[in-house]
Amino acid sequence: MIAVAFIGCATPAPLVRLNPKAAEIIWVAGRASVRKENGGVRVATAFEHQDGPLLCLRLEVENGTEARLEVDPKNVTFTKCGDETVASCAPSQFVIDPEQALADLDVAQSRGMAQAANTQALLGTLVLLNAVGDLSSAAHGHPSSGLNTMAAADLMENGAATSNNTLATIAWRRQIWSNQALRRNTLDPGQGAAGLVYLPIDLRANYIWLHVRVAESLFQFRFEQVVTQTALPATGAQARRF
């Protein structure tokens, strides 16, 4: 604790949210939402929340045409701008692909399970070796307190707990990308699809444009990025230092 005090103070990450900039804003369950329609296709979006280093927006598409349409996050892009001029905007980027995110989580899960098995096997061997060593010492007239065996057993238990927490986090993230993210959908006439799209945070941006292409129509939504810096309340020695 003393070392941490001398190293420095960890600061909370800033809070980032997106406020839609449109002539007509509709509030839905506390969310400022905007919607557009073109050729029978209706698209609505709203800022959902900040997810660590990512921004999450809810996107809804409804097929009001007589043809079958396809909704695909690969047809959703965003543009970061410094101000309201086109010259301040960076090249457009794709939102995060949920299928790639799921594939990455599968790889992380596989590696995590293998690492956990290898760690437990190694620590289990150390428990046996230390236990045999303790018994051998006692047999030769050198009683052992068994601290080495207990330490190895503790490491084994802590390693298992850490691995379980890591795998649980991966499973939780996988559930989000599987069930909440917007994924590829085929919409028959009258059908709709909804889900979350994710994009990385760039604190230098002041405006974010979201571009949604459905069939031959392009829907564009402008958001103002608001960044709020947060800080821990200073108390005691921290207050005197900082």
Cα-Cα-Cα-Cα torsion 8, 12, 14, 15, nearest 10 degrees, comes to: -170
> How do the pLDDT tens digits run along the chain, 242 residues long?
444 444 456 678 899 999 999 999 999 999 999 999 999 999 999 999 999 999 999 999 999 999 999 999 999 999 999 998 989 999 999 999 999 999 998 887 777 666 766 665 655 555 555 555 554 554 455 554 455 556 555 665 665 666 667 778 888 888 888 899 999 999 999 999 999 999 999 999 999 999 999 988 999 999 999 999 887 776 655 544 44
Phi and psi for 4 in degrees, rounded to 5?
-60, -40
CB 34 within 8 A of CB 220: no
Whole-angstrom Cα distance, residue 96 to residue 77? 9
Whole-angstrom Cα distance, residue 240 to residue 242? 6
Looking up tokens 């002539």, which residue turns up? 23
User: Could you tell me the two tokens for 217?
Assistant: 């129509």
